[in-house]
Amino acid sequence: MSRAARVILMAYVGLALLYSLTTPLLEASDELWHYPMVQYLATNGFSLPVQRAGIETAWRQEGGQPPLYYFLAAALTFWLDTSDLPLIRYLNPHADIGLVLPDRNANMTIHTAARHLGSGALWAIYLSRGLSVALGALTVWLTYLLARELFPQREGVAHLAMALTAFNPMFLFISGSVNNDNLSTLLATALLVCLARLLKRADAPSVRALIGIGFLSGAGMLAKFNIGFLLPLIALALALNAWRVRSLRAFAIGAAITGGLTILIGAWWYLRNWQLYGDPTGLNVFLDIVGRRAIPANAAQLWSERHTFLMSYWGFFGGVNVPFADFIYTVFNALAALSAFGLLLGAFGRHLLRLDALWLARAVSLVWIAVLFGGLLRWTSETWASQGRLMFAAIAPISLWLALGAWRLGGVWLARSIAAWHVFAALAGLATIAMAYRPPALSAHLPDSEWRAIATFAEPETPDRAALALYAQRQLTLTAQPAEYVTFELIFQQRASMRRDWSVFIHLENEAGTIVAQRDVFLGQGLWATSQMQHIGQFWQNRFAVRLPDYAYAPQALTIWLGFYDLKTGERLLGNGDTISQDRAKLGIVRLQPRHTDSDVPNPMHANLGDAVALIGYQVTPLSAQVGEQITVTLYWRRLRPLETDYRVFVQLVQPNTTHVYAQSDAMPANWTRPTSTWSEGEIIVDKHTLIVRQGTPTGDWTLIAGMYALRERADGQEFLRLRLHLPDGAQAEDFVTLTRLRVR
């Protein structure tokens, strides 16, 4: 290894260790479930759990992953007493996993005082992270070896490829966490190096080389399922080598040794899955636990997820909710596009596809990228997995080909510039992670005299002892439109310790008392559980952001209420003060205004149903009702293309996420007088529906939805084919439009 390669490798180790130390425990992608799987093996004699859908476990779907990484981490940590893990794995019940919100709340766990150097679980997690760092270091080294095998005359390309892997912020983030991807990435890269050497050979491979390939492929099948996509490439490489040496015997021996070892090492896991789950991969139960998409994603849906896919290849931290600043992704994508352009120029100018042994080896690395990407598309069409980091099993060849393109386009100057950018981004990633979990600053004093106490809150067990005080400068008067955030800042002071964990709720209520929008979080931007807080006498500023629904009814005035409740029991902290009503403080008013539009319809909007029709507005009267009373809903439609099908409209008052329907209307538009096949271009169809709240409807806030469906007669009955909501980015959502909440009194 050259001196430059050694420097890159050492720099990687230093940065990966910094990522490991900077990322709070259990705040890396899926580490919240990966480490409990390690602990289960370490404390149960290395026996594997049996997965059961519907049964909550600390390791969730990770118990269905091939277990080799977990075995290695358990072997490294089994001697530690990790019984204090529940104190460290203190879950944030309101964590916004997969969402980036203005008031943060990105932490998946509460960072309690139990995270001290005397904690066995803490040391076990850090040792497991150390294992991941070591596996990542081997991947970086193997990236260099792969580059030297495929482009032996271009050491500069090898150095850049190594740097693109070593200093990829997301690779560093995953390498500094407890994650089985670190082992599968290493084994996939090692197999690519072995295949490159095999394809370049002019003679039959040695038994030692075949044993190495068989061992790596068997271990790979126990590391992650995606390594299975490499098995056909191994068979292809053996066949090409046998053809070159004109020896069928060489192929038979190679297949027997590599295939035999793969089966010997990995088959037991797949047989176990077959016996337990009726599926050798166990993916049926895995999907039952992790959750499937409501409908498989089509090409338009997958294309709409390209941005988060690229973000999570370069760096999307935490629980996919701690992003870089936008400009960093822009630069990464631009540099990748520039490198790809250089690669294409080189391909057309230098006859890239020559059929010699070296180019066959290079082609296999490209095929691996394509095969892995195709498998990921298939997987993410079934479940929500559009994360670029899942391509890390091919990060070495991806980095290599990008490095080659950059070198061909700009030579050493461009190569050094790209490497320097990656180092900068890697350091920026550390700062981004540190800032995301930074708690609010504490102060012994209010910032100025304009802040005044407007309410205090006490636990029910000690009603005469205020635990929290709420401060504001004035009553809030805010203006917003549907789909916007209502943001504001308040100051709190802890005045006494608390026994329970109290969640903050922010409700935006209309005059009927309907909760139009709400936000539920822990204090301290989600970082503090009140039972763990030790800030008595201290003040801190807390930001809140409440998102208004996409099609919230407007115009109307919404009152802002704040209170605290126990998530387990529903009890509230007892409020005291002039602003208090029903143990909640009134903070002010939000004037919800309709969107600006050229059309003269109430509550303007644009909900695209199946690229066929658009709901462009609606009106509801009244916004609250009793059992037996009428609700009038007027919908405003416009066609998006000529329609041959006569769709029917449904309007329902429902309890979300259930099958409970409390009021309903089904009819063709405009009381059966305007079938959709008769609509003209640009025409606005006024469609009025009357709903009656059914007997037995419980009091509460329920949701009004609307949509369209085609009714088809079949031999076995009627079929209802609903139009699905299409979002502006091409994604598909539900098969209905959520309009507004209504209160049943």
- The residue ranges of every structural domain in the chain are 3-84+119-435, 452-592, 607-744
Structure tokens at 195: 């295949």
Q: Could you tell me the pLDDT band of residue 271, with boundaries at 50, 70 and 90?
A: very high
Give 349's pLDDT tier (boundaries 50, 70, 90). Answer: low
Contact 565, 505 (CB under 8 A): yes
pLDDT, residue 576, reads: 95
Mean pLDDT of 151-161: 94
- The listed CATH number (2.60.40, 2.40.50, 2.30.30, 3.30.160) that belongs to domain 452-592: 2.60.40
Residue 348 has pLDDT above 90, yes or no: no
355 has pLDDT over 70: no
- In the predicted model, is pLDDT for residue 347 greater than 80? no
Distance CA(425)–CA(36), nearest Å, equals 31
User: Which phi and psi angles does 80 have, rounded to 5°?
Assistant: -90, 145
- Chain position carrying tokens 């309903």: 664
Backbone torsions φ then ψ of 130, nearest 5 degrees:
-60, -40
More confident residue, 596 or 132: 132
pLDDT-derived band at 301, boundaries 50, 70, 90: confident
Q: Which pLDDT belongs to residue 1?
A: 84
| pLDDT at res. 200 | 94
- Closest Cα partner for 135 from 224, 196, 242, 213? 224
69: left (phi over 0), alpha (psi -120 to 50) or beta: alpha
Residue 729 — very low, low, confident or very high, per pLDDT cuts 50/70/90? confident
Closest C-alpha to 138, from 111, 171, 113:
171
8 A C-beta contact, residue 467 and residue 496: yes
Dmax over Cα atoms in the chain, in whole Å?
93
Share of the chain above pLDDT 70, in %: 99
Burial class (CB in 10 A: 0-12, 13-18, 19+), 552: buried
| pLDDT at 350 > cutoff 80 | no
Whether the bond into 622 is cis, omega within 30 of 0:
yes
Please, where are the H alpha helices in 609-740? 669-672
pTM greater than 0.85 (yes/no): yes
Q: Is 213 left (phi over 0), alpha (psi -120 to 50) or beta?
A: alpha
Residue 433 has which token pair? 């992670």
Average confidence (pLDDT) over 6-31 = 97
What distance in Å separates the CA atoms of residue 63 and residue 72, rounded to the nearest whole number? 15
| Arithmetic mean of pLDDT, 533-552 | 96
Q: For the residues 398-423, what does the mean pLDDT come to?
A: 96
pLDDT at 357: 87
As a whole number, mean pLDDT of residues 394-414 equals 96
The one-letter amino acid code at 695 reads Q
The yes-or-no answer to whether 452-592 and 607-744 have a common fold is yes
Q: Percent of the chain, pLDDT > 90?
A: 90
Mean pLDDT of the chain: 94
Asked if 307 contacts 294 with a C-beta cutoff of 8 angstroms, the reply is no
d(CA 273, CA 88): 32
| Residue 98 reports pLDDT greater than 60 | yes
pLDDT at 712: 86
Q: How far apart are the first and last CA of the chain?
A: 76
Predicted confidence at residue 236, as pLDDT, reads 95
Q: What is the mean pLDDT of residues 542-555?
A: 95
Tens-digit pLDDT profile for residues 504-541: 999 999 999 999 999 999 999 999 999 999 999 999 99
> How far apart are alpha carbons 422 and 8 in whole angstroms?
12
State how far the Cα of 211 lies from the Cα of 658, in Å rounded to an integer.
Answer: 55
Architecture of domain 607-744: Sandwich (2.60)
* pLDDT for res 164: 98
Rounded CA-CA distance 541/492 in Å is 7
Coil, helix or strand at residue 206: coil
Please compute the mean of the pLDDT values over residues 10-37 and round it to a whole number. Answer: 97
Strand order from edge to edge, sheet including 539-547: 539-547, 485-494, 466-472, 452-458, 574-576
Burial class (CB in 10 A: 0-12, 13-18, 19+), 582: exposed
Q: How far apart are CA 105 and CA 438, in angstroms?
A: 11
Beta-bridge partners for 691: 631
- Residue 48 in this model has a pLDDT that exceeds 60: yes
Which pLDDT value is given to residue 294?
79
Helical (H) or strand (E) element with 288? helix 283-290
- Residue 376 tokens read as 């990921």
Tell me what pLDDT residue 716 has: 77
